[in-house]
Amino acid sequence: MKNRKAHFFPDQISMDRRNFLRKSILAAVAVGASSSIPLSALAMECQVVDAPRTLVNLMLQGGADLRFLFMPAPNHPNSSYRDLAWTARRPLYESGYGNYQEMFDSEYLLATDPATGFQFGIYRRAAWLKEQFELGRVAVVANAYCSRNRRHDQSILNADVGEPDLDVLNFERAGWGGRLVEFLGDGANSVELGSEISTFNKGSVPGARLDQVVHAQDMRDISLAGPDDNSPASRRSILARALGSYYAARGQEVAAEKSADWPYHIFFQHNSALRAFGATVEARLEACQPLPDELANLGLSSPEFAQQCRNLFDVCQVPDALKLGVVSMKYGGWDTHNNEAAEIGANLQDLFGEDAGLATAMSAIENLPWIDRPASSQLVFYLASDFGRQIVANGAAGTDHGRGTYTMVIGEAVRGGVYGEMFPDREAQPDADGNVPLQTPGADIEGLTSTERILEAATNWSRPGAGAVVFPDTAFSGLEPGVNFSTLFRA
């Protein structure tokens, strides 16, 4: 049964806190902030609003070896491929494994594609991903590429911009997230949950590329700093009171005394707008659900990613206050030249463990009140990395920079399964020079499908017609034979 509760009043919100936030908002309005602040914020009650369809760009910075995440099943139809893959990648695992079956049983879970019955291994510490895949909510796109080179800086830029063939290292460009929110219109924003705003969020207007970006590094501390009630004599409290008094006292005088073209108006305008926006968001969150204990206490190898998961939960509570259009998340630390199993294992656990990042965040989001559409059904995660890794392990129990990789699209709206040949037979056969990729250091997963193709379908799901505008050159980009993304999303 659908949850049609229009309002939600948690008992833990104190009247003193509500009055403080209400006064903060009114004070911001008094010094010249926009008068369009929602009345619901002033009323201090939770306004349940259905989230719009929202793409979450989860960037795995550093070149993730997703061939480690996915491995052939022991009953793989091409036993020669399986045996060569084991020889090529055996240095990545403990030396005690006597054979492939023994390693697989210890390190992987057997997953079955619900559409085709094809079986393969998903790394054991990514149990949530395996569960979601078998529910038909994960599309694994094999042999994808978001860059044609092996350089971190260029490839991250290419992924953020959505142009795999870009070969100019110029960060003064529009990202695909920025282009998408421009298409969405109505003041839609790209909401960055990480510690820094990436090129992905930037818009197309030079000098105003961040106009439609909200940096939500901590949704529960998004407003300008105020006095610390527990330490009124601290340096922070003194400075906050002084600045607040200055802007409150001088704001109206400046507006009356200075001409409209006085360049320093912008400081007063920004102060007013940021105080009003921050107070509005914090007031709404205070009146809505607190962070669930399992999310508030989420302990991951990456505290930053744990915070992003908490932010995502809160974003889904107040999408209208943020004018939510698209979300940006990131997880670094994938440059695994050595000791790969330990490093990538911890990363994959953080992302896909059954009690870890995405599983905990999505479980909490599923329990949010909703009117017509639960927020969990409105989120689709797009996961890519700057590049892949070479398919043969190096001598330091790691893998070096490669090109081709896997890309994943995750969500209830996704028509899951494997798109493309997951473990191409060609990797076990001699190439034109007589080299067998699975026996040749330096060999890459061959990139056949441009991530532009995947993103065109994803942005069309977000808003019909977006793909052709955000990715106008998709028709000229790579696509593996037999792959079709027209049905990547459910009707």
Average pLDDT over residues 283-292: 95
The pLDDT score that the predictor gives to residue 111 is 98
The pLDDT score that the predictor gives to residue 272 is 87
Boundaries of every domain in the chain: 7-49+219-287, 54-218+293-476
The pLDDT tens digits of the residues spanning 30-74 come to 333 333 444 444 445 788 999 999 999 999 999 999 999 999 999
Average pLDDT over residues 121-139: 98
- Which tokens belong to 449? 């499908």
Query: Residues near 412 by Cβ (< 8 Å), separated by ≥ 6?
Result: 137, 376, 377
Query: Residues near 168 by Cβ (< 8 Å), separated by ≥ 6?
Result: none
Q: Is 146 exposed, middle or buried (0-12, 13-18, 19+ CB in 10 A)?
A: buried
Nearest one of 405, 392, 380, 383 to 489, comparing CA atoms: 380
| 3-class secondary structure per residue, 213-254 | EEECCCHHHCCCCCCCCCCCCCHHHHHHHHHHHHHHHHHHHH
- Which tokens belong to 291? 């962070």
**Phi, psi for residue 236 in degrees, rounded to 5:** -60, -45
The pLDDT tens digits of the residues spanning 234-256 come to 998 999 899 888 888 888 888 88
Share of the chain above pLDDT 90, in %: 81
The pLDDT score that the predictor gives to residue 44 is 54
Report the distance separating Cα 8 and Cα 271, nearest Å. 31
Report the distance separating Cα 354 and Cα 360, nearest Å. 8
Average pLDDT over residues 416-420: 97
On the question of pLDDT at 287 being above 80, the answer is: yes
DSSP conformation class of 443: P
Would you say domain 54-218+293-476 falls under CATH 3.40.720?
yes
Query: Residues near 182 by Cβ (< 8 Å), separated by ≥ 6?
Result: 203, 204, 212
Q: Is 11 exposed, middle or buried (0-12, 13-18, 19+ CB in 10 A)?
A: exposed
- Mean of pLDDT over the chain: 90
Report the distance separating Cα 122 and Cα 130, nearest Å. 6
The pLDDT tens digits of the residues spanning 80-97 come to 999 999 999 999 998 889
Got the DSSP string for 47-77? E--PPPPEEEEEEETT---HHHHEEE-TT-S
Report the distance separating Cα 15 and Cα 30, nearest Å. 22
The pLDDT score that the predictor gives to residue 25 is 42
Q: Is 442 helix (H, G, I), strand (E, B) or coil?
A: coil
On the question of pLDDT at 13 being above 50, the answer is: no
Report the distance separating Cα 290 and Cα 293, nearest Å. 9
| Distances, alpha carbon 51 to alpha carbons 198, 309, 316, 378, in Å | 23, 16, 6, 7
